[in-house]
Structure 1
């Protein structure tokens, strides 16, 4: 059986970031979620240093959970610390902002914040702050694959942590130094530092860190081709994760053990451990981790010639891969937008501050402030332009290879119509479906970027909406037949002339009709009606689907909207179609809205097109 594609090895091998090390100093008996809930409730009443500390803690908590909130709290903490002249709070806020950009993958921005934080701590001779920031800088260089600089900063942090007799900081440095030697294939040195970190972590009773270190040591022994030794450490990690009910750690450990047994040719044990790990990954809804299990199990069952089970896991792999891809694309775009919004807010706050300060100063100072304002505006414009260029380039760079993939698949199908077996044809159909889905995503991104950047211009002309509507409905005849959906029409006998662009109207109707089919249950009905109000032509498309909640209706025409309703036949949704509909209707001086009485009560989309005499 063909392999599922490139797989990520199921191991735990993550550097222990200084952000984790900071948390270790501040552990208490209060569950973190409860502590954060209380902090957010108290925040409006806090002032001065207490509020700065609370904002910094909230920023750290949300760094890996909600980019928008983390950036908001980080920005507020930094501005308040500067206003209150709190140098320690400012250094801490700079460090926390560095953490956010680290997790966003913007390592240049992250490094700038950490270096600024380091300067503040050094001016205050704050040894603990210096140690943790040096470790953070080392983490950035580690992710940038600059092992030499990373090792230099880790060793500086270690010297200070040892002088402070701080076991938490020492253990963190040992682990990160071990990771650098691991990356450089200096496995004996890696084992030495991992072991030192393990001994300290066991004394500190830090079970989470102990489990990760045991996995890292097991991985080193794998590199040294000592699978028996590796298995011993993986089993120890597994026992710890089971004892503390750490499902995520347990899933990883089961995966590492399963791959050892697979390599040893013990298929039965490998399947047992991998399927246990997959069950946990599914419970945690960890789709990226599940991908690894699906891929490994596909190969194992194929080796045993159990092709039915292998095919089942391969299909689950393909479905999970598509879901991970879509989620990753949406997250990356959302993170880019969040970064842009945070920078914009910070610059706007700086503009406001400069305006108020400079009102009382000399003319030459006012000119200098105006120069800064111009520079800030240019930076904001550049940020917006870079965002648009990124979307445009990413979309166009994907479109050409996708066209080639679709062309080759169709050519293979045509040339091998009689010679290909049904199984191979099924694989080709899967490839074509995935490529078509990605092509639709890319096309939507290109269209949306053109509309938002003002690069789309189309001529308006008078035509009969009835014919445009019938053409789109005929296009979806096979889909309605597959789901046994009945299409009901109510069209006037007289012409329904509108002043619009035919291509744009086709795209609007295509999105609305396909959505109605996508979200309608089998054996239901869809109602399409054109109405001449005298001033406008109304096109209503009504289904008997899952309906919309009040919250759904508020965000239905926004980009990447994720609604409560889900496709009923396994179809995919990018969350862009209705956003494009709204923008195209607006460009043609029309109006669009949705009506729904609630969940499971269907929904109706109404588009109002201007008649020639009413056009602007």
Structure 2
């Protein structure tokens, strides 16, 4: 029997509390409406697991932005109640919330682990509504790990699935923030204007339900140099943010104000505001904002001639960055280890199958000996030997592919990894002798090397997932014109470095095809970037598209060396090296064309 008194208490508590969301940015707890004492009292009177789950989950949301450890304790308690309730949807929410909490704490291994457990429950029980929030969670985790390309893919997936306009705005903002980190400033300028104009106003006044939206818009305006617009936005919302008194909001407010003062030359004010922001973010364990604040304060102290303080802050920055980078490396290592384990398990499975086949063959052979005599025995022995040789060759081929794969990964990752290690060692060995220009140059090389490692790993992982069937391709109507233009905007710098002219021939009408967007972009990027890589300086790369009789055609032509007859026979085979070399000493992995065939 249900205890209706307890149920009524839970219901009244839910009415008094705010609507919670899986997105931490949307959660606001008003102390007048929800109190910890009230929730704990209701929890002590609740009699069923489901009621206790919702009450402890509300306690989690009360503390998620002020006391992360206490929030995690409450969420673990909520997980226990979800298990007792035997409700799969509650379990999915609980694991998803734990993943988000550990992401805020900076424990990315646990964050990914809990989010993956949640995704398994969601997929196995077809809980489509929860899947979009998990995609957003994945995006936040990879963004904190500074794997912005992977993060963008997850945010795009969430954006495609979200129905609520508020959540769509947040997903679009995170994509814009990732583009800013990736250096796509022109895209960011147009996107932030659209996002800011989409914030609902309250009769021309600040809508306090959207304070976070105003804050992050002002932050991006300050990051791209539009400090006048950033200052106007901050001036509008400052009284409401200070009244709201939430550490995370206040931290963004002071960091953005510091950016504005820095651009205006008010260095002391910039230092003061940045220090306040750092204090908020450190207490909140906000890793990405802590890094931003440390770097900003180091820069301001150098301008003011406080070099000792500047280098101390810079050291804190590198230590904090190293912590995140270690998590980054662990994530990549776990993914590679999973691949290696999958290959090993496949070999074991083949070996077990081979053993069973051999045992069955011997059994059949014994029967044939009894029934048919020596002549039939000799025939079966011959066939058995032939079958074993075939299986042995298959095992040898799999083992050879595995060894080749490991060799390719080691070879292609060694060069960028050596660059990172060498320059990091150079900076750390005697940081005081490294001037600002050299530091910028070293940082740029380290960043580009890291981007290259990310690009290599993503390509190999994507190819393996598609080839083994672990990733399903969902075809949707996609604009070929927009896809081509977006890819060219992203990689045309490859051609600009060699003074290569890009000629783009697209029809006036839209060409719409059925495709998976990310796979299509990957194919276009590889084909167009190859044209730039193998074209001589000062030449022309022509990119064309058209549609005839309900078929779309895409063409890339360049003035490079082309393919020999022998190259054509090896073109789409795994790990085959072709005769031509890039004209600007660019890197070209051996497996690019096999990836194109798979996609």
Under a length normalisation based on structure 2, what TM-score does the superposition of the two structures give?
0.41
- Richer in helix (by share): 2
Under a length normalisation based on structure 1, what TM-score does the superposition of the two structures give?
0.40
